[in-house]
Structure 1
């Protein structure tokens, strides 16, 4: 690997488009292009500095001068007086909603008949007068339900009634975004031109475009709305949780395109049908739509697993035949710096999420004086939802048979495939921002810090690795690597990246590793396969010795990669290819990069026998091999912590009830406390391993594997409870101490094989007594609030085991 030239331009992939005034400027893909860097949004004059210019610009928007009029959009007509009333009327006239109201009214009448309120049950005592009374009661209930549905509809639907409002809202939102993100919003010209063409064709067919973005910040939906407005596309209706529907802000967002929806529907059949009817109405009439596949915002920087609530409604619209077709468009939004990261870290460390309100919204106003870099939005090639359904139906019928006994397996398969397909395509079009490059390098180097020249060299190396994985780097015209790194360091700031003064060379170090991990996680999806393979081989490398002792049989490596992939199935979006094919492809790449060496049989079968470190990699100090391991080590550490935490579920000696059930929330809090103690005592290498999302994934996996059992109730005030499965219960010695053996200990040890060795963690046999003793100490209070097993709980849990339930929003 040669030394870098800090004045050379960095090879950034992707062509950007900048819209300034009424002109479109294209940034060339080649690094030699001369187009200046521009933002999609033009910076406006500030009232304090240039009051007359600011007022003039505001007037241009309010009165709709040129493109600001927003009256020649691509798509169905929106923003006109009476839009909300028309929408409400269309929703309330939906056949499935009228049918559900009638059905619920009839059920209520039947209940009142059974209760004796509407006369005797059966036809013997029924008279014409009684029949009329029952019919009248049914009509009365239908009227009441209709009134409730109308109120819910009014609260739910977006209210695009005023073109003057949206012009002013665009101006205000642009002011806010361009102050926080001073380098603006960037998009790809090729993708935008393709999207406009698709939108024009969809408008002719009265089809909706369903935008499905990733979700890292509240800026996500603002940036997409601004892009659609500036490009003249019909604004999408955006699904938003009703926790954001607080005074002033809630009304503003609803008139700008937000639809309010409950975070959970429970068993409310009327509300569920109402949401489905609204989806049907939007898609039947070709209105654009937007929802987040992950449900909530990612607090960790990487994509979350898909949530299927809203997706299931969209799929149902097509499967039911209510909607002929809709266009799916996955969207990636990447940031140099995310506004909410500070609060994310606080939440991940166990502090309660603050309730959304106006004061909290206004308290974020100080970010407007920050310089957070830029936002990059990328659009995957749109595709037909109808064609996807037809293709998947053919595949599912082949696997399940021509006459499945129920539609549920088919719908479940369609929904799951849809969710992961969208997430995979979001990853495909995502760009890696400079802050992510710098953050990743700083967190994957050994030692306290790194010199400026070495930092630049490793950033260039990482850029090459990203491109080799068909990834994209944010486009920065012809700026040199040094300039791009300097800009990234400036955006990250001294609170995240420290600099040592007074040295011959500028030297940087990770000041806040937890926050930097958010930006590192923006790159990890590109290298998950390499990281799994290298961490599997690391189980041999960490034992030391010569090259022969650090070589691993292929079968052993494959088995451990499978173990890790199962361990992290809730953490990452994996390739859709088979494990065997993915490992072989990954090994070929690592062999080509001279990181690993692979020996094959001489019989011409090309069958792999062993895998080891390449001599060139060993000579370079394992820097590239370690890079891949560093990516995965924090997640391995979190999984190990989650497994060891399960020891706290063991009843203390002489506890009377061995079948005690423990409060899940209390256990999660104790597990975090346990992890923080291990970190500060040196038995845990990464503080980010104690974050509640990683532990939540670890415990969910333990539940799926049957290591723990969780009892949940549909009652709102009932809290979930858990216990350790008897087969996994650790044994104690005659002194009441844990014995390091059994299924749970073996599971912990299997994870520990690939944990990072080093000076930050003490290893050896004493970990058995030290860590297990601490688990006993931290978890001793759990059983004070334990409750005995309720009658029938075990039977219900066994009956529910393996049944996948519909996820909430």
Structure 2
């Protein structure tokens, strides 16, 4: 009997579908059975000139003349795409009081420097002070004029230039032609969500409030798809905040006239530029222009959400906190793909190849994928919410109130509020994310013990996984009345034979993961739903891997709690955890695994092992789970094992920071980037020698997270140079330095060794290795060989040691929970 408890069908009638007819949006009865949030493709492929020349010409003509919704004459929101828009925007930015004050302040500081250096002449005798004052004033005005000129040039390069409706109509037509050729099944949205979004947008337009779209970021298609949806729905296009690395010839100006604004990748200590960006954000929000920026900063190369970046988010929050802007509406957005165009290049980057510079040649080469069939794009909008309301809601907990001066927002409290905002947005994105068929297939293929899987078993496990996704509150992409078999066939077609192989000539169709590294990108699109279960199963596995009968594999609740807490801290930079306390999350997760008959919980003084949630004494595998071959338990463990491997690799590679026995300078510094590159080389070697089970564990992002965590924990010290091109230098902290034996070999003992062993307890047991003995001999010897190469280029003792771990550890630990 199946252990899956499917969710009951909704008693309420399904929501209506969305139909866009001409320039109106209508609703009609749903044709999708038993779906709680129906969807419809907003963008279908245009007719092609080769196949249907007449229809293609008709479509082009409708865009040229601007028939119906194509005219884009009265979008919901503030007026955009008119002649003089750029000059008007530039004038409002330059008129911002904050910017004028900063330029005056910088000019005054420069005059003081010149006075100190004697560049404005002597102050003179009595009676000549007035002349000196005039020289100071003239010089100050001259500098202010120069700063205004520089700020004006920067503003001209920065601001979006929504000047022409003819341009945006043509851009929409061209972009839709390209995008729907690549994603041949179109862009899909939820009818409920877009109808709600239009309603919110109409109300915001009346109040002259901006909508801040905050999407996840997996592809360059993210901002293209959102712009197309806004155009098609008749919403004012947002100003897209983009890095100036995309501002290259031809493409840069095109994007800027379609709504992109350019900012530097790093502001450094440039006070004028920082103030200019803040002034631009104030201008946009004060005038009700919509904004789009990516809360993760850059694109995710691994498929899962990245930790939030707070740069632009801090500017937007500051606008409202300061009172310069009354309110803005926040709308988190999830964009999911059957297949991401850039995944091939992501894999290359994760394996250590340098990221190619963005240029026209690279863009044109990427366009070759437009002839492929990449499935569809699903865009989901979380219910929009008030930024001012968010601030007020968290005010009593995060903000100190003073009766005399009102609410005081100091720097510390602003950071806490900003952190809460960033993680709330990520949580909202996860809450509305849709799991695509390719993610379901990829997840199943990477969580099976066998080399491959038959078609019947693949269908069964995809059905099981779909049920588990819904049970966790997630969503599975709608495919109307299509059968699971047909949906899987479409997913296999999109993934292609380079990712999923098929064994020919067998009695049953059999599939296997051809490229596990690339397929992990799609598995990672589901992992956020099961992080809690995966951590619990990885903790219990520390007992299960020891073998023996059920009694010998039991784990006490206290030991389970400690192990889960350790793993939660280990992966605090990898996953977005629930904000509720660890104890509460752990008990909730155990109850769910108990209901699914994956684990059994034994309680003191209670005969009801299912309903009672207190006094858990110990846990073990459920008898049904043992009888089924641990397939569900292993599923959760397989999700987390690659990340355990990566953390173990990051920890064991720190032994490379131990200076060779006879090295003259035992306190030498090593270049951090070089250390990370050598750690990746070490990982590749261990994988090919059988000491590492997952090749994806050597990916650059996972190792970077492991090293960041080690720095936060104070395992190694860091010094950073003020020179831009000089990277951080590191050395192992003395408290973590392992000893050597009489023969000069590293001794497997001490704090660093204990950390490696603690992580190793949750690693998947290898078929041809025994972790303890293997690590003590072959692995440590290999680490010494690789580490010796590092010290050939070591740096002598330097000043300015920084240990940010001691400053950040407490805050991070309170944030990182199961």
Q: TM (normalized to structure 2)?
A: 0.94
Once residues 778 and 16 of structure 2 are traced to their aligned partners in structure 1, the CA distance between those partners, rounded to angstroms, is 56
Instruction: Give the 3 Å change call, closer, same or farther, for CA 760–265 of structure 1 in structure 2.
Output: farther
What is the CA deviation profile of residues 645-684 of structure 1, one whole-angstrom value per residue up to 9, with x for unaligned ones?
0000000111111211110111111000000000000000
Counterpart position of 1:548: 551
CA drift at 1:57:
1.4
Q: Is 1:511 aligned to 2:514, yes or no? A: yes
Q: Is 1:222 aligned to 2:230, yes or no? A: no
Counterpart position of 2:499: 496
CA drift at 1:50:
3.1
Which of 375, 378, 381 lines up with 2:377 in the alignment?
Answer: 375
What is the CA deviation profile of residues 368-399 of structure 1, one whole-angstrom value per residue up to 9, with x for unaligned ones?
11000000000000000001111212112479
Following superposition of structure 1 onto structure 2, how do residues 577-726 of structure 1 map, counting pairs within 5 Å? 577-602=580-605, 606-726=614-734
Once residues 776 and 570 of structure 1 are traced to their aligned partners in structure 2, the CA distance between those partners, rounded to angstroms, is 28
- Helix, strand or coil: the match of 2:357? coil
Instruction: Give the 3 Å change call, closer, same or farther, for CA 26–651 of structure 1 in structure 2.
Output: farther
Query: Given that residues 236 and 257 in structure 1 are in contact (C-alpha distance below 8 angstroms), is that contact kept between their aligned partners in structure 2?
Result: yes
Q: Which moved more, 1:604-613 or 1:149-158?
A: 604-613
Which of 406, 409, 414 lines up with 2:412 in the alignment?
Answer: 409
Which of 740, 747, 755 lines up with 1:732 in the alignment?
Answer: 740
Q: Is 1:109 aligned to 2:111, yes or no? A: yes
Instruction: Give the 3 Å change call, closer, same or farther, for CA 15–114 of structure 1 in structure 2.
Output: farther
Instruction: Give the 3 Å change call, closer, same or farther, for CA 788–254 of structure 1 in structure 2.
Output: same
CA drift at 1:18:
5.4
What is the CA deviation profile of residues 751-781 of structure 1, one whole-angstrom value per residue up to 9, with x for unaligned ones?
0000001326554513311111110111211
Q: Is 1:244 aligned to 2:246, yes or no? A: yes
CA drift at 1:21:
5.1
Query: Given that residues 114 and 121 in structure 1 are in contact (C-alpha distance below 8 angstroms), is that contact kept between their aligned partners in structure 2?
Result: no
CA drift at 1:55:
2.7
Counterpart position of 1:270: 272
Which of 308, 311, 314 lines up with 1:309 in the alignment?
Answer: 311
Counterpart position of 1:323: 325
Once residues 420 and 265 of structure 1 are traced to their aligned partners in structure 2, the CA distance between those partners, rounded to angstroms, is 23
Instruction: Give the 3 Å change call, closer, same or farther, for CA 492–101 of structure 1 in structure 2.
Output: same
Instruction: Give the 3 Å change call, closer, same or farther, for CA 400–780 of structure 1 in structure 2.
Output: farther
Query: Given that residues 161 and 255 in structure 1 are in contact (C-alpha distance below 8 angstroms), is that contact kept between their aligned partners in structure 2?
Result: yes
Counterpart position of 1:299: 301
Instruction: Give the 3 Å change call, closer, same or farther, for CA 401–349 of structure 1 in structure 2.
Output: farther
CA drift at 1:783:
1.1
- Helix, strand or coil: the match of 1:675? helix
Which of 798, 801, 816 lines up with 1:794 in the alignment?
Answer: 801
Instruction: Give the 3 Å change call, closer, same or farther, for CA 294–18 of structure 1 in structure 2.
Output: farther
Q: Is 1:146 aligned to 2:148, yes or no? A: yes
Counterpart position of 2:759: 751
CA drift at 1:730:
1.0
CA drift at 1:443:
0.2
Query: Given that residues 685 and 761 in structure 1 are in contact (C-alpha distance below 8 angstroms), is that contact kept between their aligned partners in structure 2?
Result: no
Once residues 560 and 411 of structure 1 are traced to their aligned partners in structure 2, the CA distance between those partners, rounded to angstroms, is 33
Once residues 493 and 19 of structure 1 are traced to their aligned partners in structure 2, the CA distance between those partners, rounded to angstroms, is 33
Which of 466, 471, 483 lines up with 1:468 in the alignment?
Answer: 471
Q: Which moved more, 1:398-407 or 1:428-437?
A: 398-407
Instruction: Give the 3 Å change call, closer, same or farther, for CA 479–796 of structure 1 in structure 2.
Output: closer
CA drift at 1:358:
0.4
Q: TM (normalized to structure 1)?
A: 0.95
Counterpart position of 1:778: 786
Counterpart position of 1:562: 565
Once residues 539 and 18 of structure 1 are traced to their aligned partners in structure 2, the CA distance between those partners, rounded to angstroms, is 53
Q: Which moved more, 1:654-663 or 1:592-601?
A: 654-663
Q: Gaps (5+ residues) in structure 1?
A: none
Q: Is 1:159 aligned to 2:166, yes or no? A: no
Instruction: Give the 3 Å change call, closer, same or farther, for CA 111–483 of structure 1 in structure 2.
Output: same
Once residues 483 and 337 of structure 1 are traced to their aligned partners in structure 2, the CA distance between those partners, rounded to angstroms, is 17
Instruction: Give the 3 Å change call, closer, same or farther, for CA 418–121 of structure 1 in structure 2.
Output: farther
Q: Which moved more, 1:754-763 or 1:151-160?
A: 754-763
- Helix, strand or coil: the match of 2:550? coil
CA drift at 1:713:
2.7
- Helix, strand or coil: the match of 1:714? coil
Counterpart position of 2:815: none
Query: Given that residues 400 and 408 in structure 2 are in contact (C-alpha distance below 8 angstroms), is that contact kept between their aligned partners in structure 1?
Result: no
CA drift at 1:798:
9.6
What is the CA deviation profile of residues 690-737 of structure 1, one whole-angstrom value per residue up to 9, with x for unaligned ones?
000000000000000000112123321322111110100111112211
CA drift at 1:129:
2.1
CA drift at 1:24:
4.8
- Helix, strand or coil: the match of 2:661? coil
Which of 349, 352, 358 lines up with 2:351 in the alignment?
Answer: 349
CA drift at 1:3:
11
Once residues 805 and 42 of structure 2 are traced to their aligned partners in structure 1, the CA distance between those partners, rounded to angstroms, is 55
Counterpart position of 1:59: 61
Once residues 112 and 102 of structure 2 are traced to their aligned partners in structure 1, the CA distance between those partners, rounded to angstroms, is 15
CA drift at 1:568:
0.2
Q: Which moved more, 1:727-736 or 1:332-341?
A: 727-736
Following superposition of structure 1 onto structure 2, how do residues 28-39 of structure 1 map, counting pairs within 5 Å? 28=30, 30-31=32-33, 39=41
Once residues 123 and 762 of structure 1 are traced to their aligned partners in structure 2, the CA distance between those partners, rounded to angstroms, is 88
- Helix, strand or coil: the match of 2:267? coil
Once residues 637 and 568 of structure 2 are traced to their aligned partners in structure 1, the CA distance between those partners, rounded to angstroms, is 14
CA drift at 1:475:
0.7
Once residues 290 and 38 of structure 2 are traced to their aligned partners in structure 1, the CA distance between those partners, rounded to angstroms, is 33
Q: Which moved more, 1:703-712 or 1:757-766?
A: 757-766
What is the CA deviation profile of residues 538-564 of structure 1, one whole-angstrom value per residue up to 9, with x for unaligned ones?
000000000000100000000000000
CA drift at 1:59:
1.9
